[in-house]
Structure 1
């Protein structure tokens, strides 16, 4: 007995807590010392010119640039900003690591300047990038000029096509008179350009992109507290299947099933997930519990404990998506047996973790 007790004491003293990196994207590699994802130097070769930024214009202006490719070219990823120096690009993840920023289309937003003609209004801005600090200066500062044009009669409100599937609600913001509108919209592409309409066919395992957008209010951003699905039009009805809960992704899903793109840092929150069909239902309701925050309210989900306190929210928006039986059947026929089984079991797995 004494020997067993001594052995257990020695075993316990040798026990260590094992930590690991979060899921790294394709151009990153796990740093086993810091347990962070660093740029993989073997992914890119240095190019003569810095990769040009990608710009998307819809209800907002969205700018992004590959972070690791830019760093491989010798530029400082912490230096990127627009005309207004406080409008700085921050990290987010898609298929690779990006630096990005989202801001409202309008005069003065992040230093936007406006040029108007007889048919369009064009908003201009600049992206400023500086090289990494080095004893030898081998790179010049870089400035990209870009613009978004909108028809003169379209305005700059929350405009969507007539048949677009959207969810709407209002929310009160401290110090702002009245209420501001909150809109949820669904897209089928990572540039958030192809909005889902009543004629769009959605199938299991398709990439779905979710936007939750608020009207622009100075110094306020939007945060989605919970993002969940249900087969019921009553958002309070059980069962609910959480993609995001208390501001953090459902750990059981994995990054390939659900990804937070932006949440709590802009006037729009963005997410990506692979569509799944709830068993015995062709109807899919997606709900978002939202709140606003003064300045940034990005949540650190890497260091969370297993017990997260419930967070409050001020409003809920939701959309109803329809899966046709024929589309679902033909899609299952295209899967390997492993993928088909995973799609069928996903709702059960989500229920078990609640």
Structure 2
């Protein structure tokens, strides 16, 4: 099969075969394969291993796989050539084993690295199986914000103590089905018009999203004063009960609200901030 060119910095182009092959002179042979780099991402578990170090050390870089042998590695060029094996954080994916404790859900699997069979039929290494796991928090306080103009706010959250990145988003929609987002050209809002506001997490099989508090300010500062509470303890604030209604909150990976557009005296913009938690079961 054809490969994507140019070759990596640790590969050379073979004119005879028409593919990129490893420049083995750049590496020293080792008894064990190189340690994979594990990334516990939002919605993906990903392992990277040096392709050419595998080949130099007597392992078959083309046959790496997880417990489910159909989940195989792919050659990726990130300066050097790497073999990338990935799976989703689901108990049914690629042979993942899920365990749950009081604070985290943990997905475990094995990366299988077979020894290379040389043309003579000789193997010089043992097959290797490397166990790995990714932990995801059950409870996770986050903050995110949106402004009425533009409509969409975004924050990338690094969760302390676990190797994972969660990416909550807040989006304002035009329609009650939460399908058509506002953009800068269409963001003309008038008081008393409905604003359909959604907050989402990537679709995990175990996480539910709960907006504990949502408030508005006149500037892009979560500590700004005054703060106008819209949601308190997951429910519309008493002072704003006529302006805010809850469509979903705490029962799925997304929260949805309908807010009657309002203006804060002395300001042309309104910024929304939210304190968000996640939980294993329905949060309500």
Q: TM-score range by the shorter chain?
A: 0.3 to 0.5
Give the TM-score normalised by the residue count of structure 1.
0.39
Q: Which has the higher helix share?
A: 1
Return the TM-score normalized by structure 2: 0.48
Ranked by relative contact order (alpha carbons within 8 Å, sequence separation 6 or more), the top structure is 2
**Which structure has greater strand proportion?**
2
